[in-house]
Amino acid sequence: MLGLMAVALFVLGVLTAYFGSGKSRTVGAILLVLGIIVAVLDIFVIDHMYFKLDFINEIVYPAVFYIVAAAVGAVIGLLIFLGAIMKT
């Protein structure tokens, strides 16, 4: 969960910082930094504090799965939205 959250914060921070203006760029930079902090905490501190995780099998594969599933869901939602708009 933390890995997915870190990726989401990082991506949203990059997009907001790049496409935003004024205060939006500041918020994007904060999201970017928070994403990096959460990723570092997830990889180096939390995993080693409680138990040893196999990084690839327990973090990377599920994160990729959830990102692909979210992208497929977003595309389906966008297609439904576009279909509804084009019908009216």
What is the pLDDT at residue 13? 81
Nearest Cα residue to 31 out of 49, 12, 56, 48? 12
Q: What is the pLDDT of residues 44-74, one digit of tens each?
A: 776 565 555 677 777 788 888 888 888 888 8
For residue 38, name the pLDDT band (cuts at 50, 70, 90): confident
What gap in Å lies between CA 48 and CA 28, rounded to an integer?
Answer: 29
> pTM, whole model, 2 decimals?
0.52
**H helices present in the chain, as ranges:** 2-19, 23-40, 47-50, 55, 61-87
Domain that holds residue 58: 2-87
- Structural domain count, the chain: 1
